[in-house]
Amino acid sequence: MLGDSPKMSRLKNKRLLLISHHNSYRIAPYIKAAKNLGLSVTIASQGKHSLVTEVANGIHINFDDVDSALDEIVKENNNTAFAGILGSDDQTVELAAYAAKALNLPHNPPQAALYSHRKDLARAELALSGCPVPIHCLLNLHQPVEKQIAGLPWPCVVKPLNMSASRGVIRANNEHEFLAACERLRPILATSQGELEQSHVLIEEYIHGIEIAYEGFLQNSVLETITIFDKPDPLIGPYFAETIYVTPSTLSKKLQQSIKEVIQKACTVYGLTTGAIHAECRIDKNDNIWILEIASRTIGGDCGRILDNEQSGIEELAISLAIDQPVKFNMPEQARGVMMIPVKEKGLLKRVEGLLEANKVNHIDKIDIIISQGHELVPLPEGNQYLGYIFASADTPEQVTSAIRQAYAKLKFIAAPVFNIV
C-alpha cells in the first residue's frame, strides 16, 4: 500500500519524467504504475522514430551529450513542471540524477548513481571504505594480456564494467581459460558505450558460496528491506545465467539482518539517499557476506511481478519515492518465485513444446514466453535475453522451487540453426 488516497489525489494533473532507452521492457510497467497513482508520464529517450506512442511523443535526447539532454529536459519542465524524475535502467539512472538535481527534485547524487552502474568504480570505493568486496583489479585488453595476469587468484571472474543480465561474465579457473575468456569478451565489449568500457574488464576473485538478491529502498538515506530472494540454483559458472528467485528467504533472521547492514553501509559509501535498491551478494561457508552489485533501481524484467500485491507493485513504490510521497509497501503473504528461463542454445526459435503440461503443475501461476517464433536466440555470455518467465506461489519456498523445476522440465524449446551468409 502506498500512501493514502487523499495524498495521491493531489497528484492528478502532475507528471513523471521517465528517462529510458526506447526499447526498455520497463517502460510499460512504469506507465501503468504512474497512471495508478494519477500521474501522467513523459518519456525521455533516443527513440524519435519509435513505434511506441509514448516514446515517439516524448522528449528526444542524446544520452551521450549530458549537457544537451539536460537543456531539453529543463525546457520541457518550464512548459509543465515534473513532479519527479526516474531512470528506468542502470544506464539512465545517472542522467536522471543530474536532471532531478537541476530541477531540485528528490534524487541521488549523480556520483552515487554512477557508482551504482559502474562495477569498477563501485568496487574501488567500497574497498577503500572497508566494505566486503572480492579482491579485484582492472585489465586493459588493448595491452598484452599475458603481461597483466601475474598474481591473479584462481578461479577468478572476468566481467564488463557496465553490462547487466550476466552478459559477458565468465569464470576462469586457470591462465588458459582466462586468456580464452578475454578473447571472447572483445567483440562483446565493442557494443559498450565509452572508450574505457570497450577496452577494460574487471577481474575479481570467485567467491565460493550461495547467492542472494536483496530488494529494498532508501528514504532519507535509511535502508528499508522489501525482501531477500534465495537463488536455489548454484551459480558456479563458467557463465552465470540468473534462473530461480524465491521469497521469503530461508536464511536465518540474524544473517538476513547482517545482509541489510552490509548493504546499508555500502549505500552510505556510495552516497545513495533515496529510491529503489537492488543488490546481489554472495555468502561463503563462514556466512561472510560479499557484495557483488548494488544498483539504484528496482529488480529487472518481469521478475518484479512476484512482489505485486492487491494494491500496488514495485514500480509504484519507485515512483512514490521519486515524487517524495510517504511510502508503505506490503509484501504478499504467500511464498512466491519466478524463473527467468535461460537461453541454452543458439538458433532461431521455431516453437515451444510442453506449455500446456507445464501450466498444469500444482502451484504454477502462469508461464510467459516473451520471445516470439523466428527470433534469434543468443545464449550467454554474448546474449542478455530470457525466453520468458515461470511464476509460482505456494505455502512454502520449497514448494515454490519444486513447482518451478517441475514446470521447466516439461518445456522444450525447438530452434533451427542460424546460417550466416558472407
According to the model, what pLDDT value does residue 421 have? 64
**Is residue 91 within 8 Å of residue 162, measured between CB atoms?**
yes
For residue 396, is pLDDT > 70? yes
- pLDDT tier, 332 (very low <50, low <70, confident <90, very high otherwise): confident
Domain ranges of the chain: 5-107, 109-131+208-295, 135-205, 334-422
For residue 4, is pLDDT > 90? no
The vertex-208 CA angle with 207 and 212, nearest 5°, equals: 80
C-alpha cell at 287: 556466512
Region of poorest pLDDT, from 239-243, 283-287, 301-305, 408-412: 301-305
Tally of residues, the chain: 422
Q: Which residue has the cell 489525489?
A: 9
Residue type, 157: V
DSSP secondary-structure letter at 298?
Answer: P
Sequence-distant (6+) residues with CB within 8 A of 236 are 171
Which comes out higher in pLDDT, residue 384 or 421? 384
C-alpha cell at 131: 566494505
Crossing angle of helices 314-322 and 27-36, rounded to 10°? 70
Sequence-distant (6+) residues with CB within 8 A of 300 are 26, 164, 165, 278
Q: What is the pLDDT of the chain when averaged over all its residues?
A: 93
Rounded to an integer, what distance in angstroms lies between the CA atom of residue 297 and that of residue 312? 17
Mean pLDDT of 98-112: 96
DSSP secondary-structure letter at 206?
Answer: P
For residue 92, is pLDDT > 90? yes
Q: Which residue has the cell 501522467?
A: 40
Using alpha carbons, list the distances in angstroms from residue 185 to 87, 154, 229, 380: 27, 19, 29, 11
pLDDT digits 0-9 by tens, 346-361: 999 999 999 999 999 9
Region of poorest pLDDT, from 87-96, 236-245, 303-312: 303-312
According to the model, what pLDDT value does residue 10 have? 52
pLDDT digits 0-9 by tens, 131-185: 999 999 999 999 999 999 988 999 999 999 999 889 999 999 999 999 999 999 9
Is 338 strand, coil or helix?
strand
Identify the CATH number of the domain defined by range 334-422. Answer: 3.30.470.20
The edge-to-edge listing of strands for the beta sheet with 136-140 is 136-140, 200-205, 156-159, 170-172
According to the model, what pLDDT value does residue 333 have? 86
pLDDT digits 0-9 by tens, 172-182: 999 999 999 99
Rounded to an integer, what distance in angstroms lies between the CA atom of residue 94 and that of residue 273? 14
pLDDT digits 0-9 by tens, 15-66: 999 999 988 888 989 999 999 999 999 999 998 878 788 898 999 999 989 9
Q: Which CATH superfamily includes the segment(s) 135-205?
A: ATP-grasp fold, A domain (3.30.1490.20)
Pick the CATH number of 109-131+208-295 from 3.30.470.20, 1.10.10.10, 3.40.50.2000, 2.30.40.10: 3.30.470.20
For residue 328, is pLDDT > 90? no
- pLDDT tier, 5 (very low <50, low <70, confident <90, very high otherwise): very low
| Domain 5-107 in CATH 3.40.50.20 | yes
**Is residue 410 within 8 Å of residue 358, measured between CB atoms?**
yes
**Is residue 345 within 8 Å of residue 390, measured between CB atoms?**
no
Do the domains 109-131+208-295 and 334-422 sit in the same CATH topology, yes or no? yes
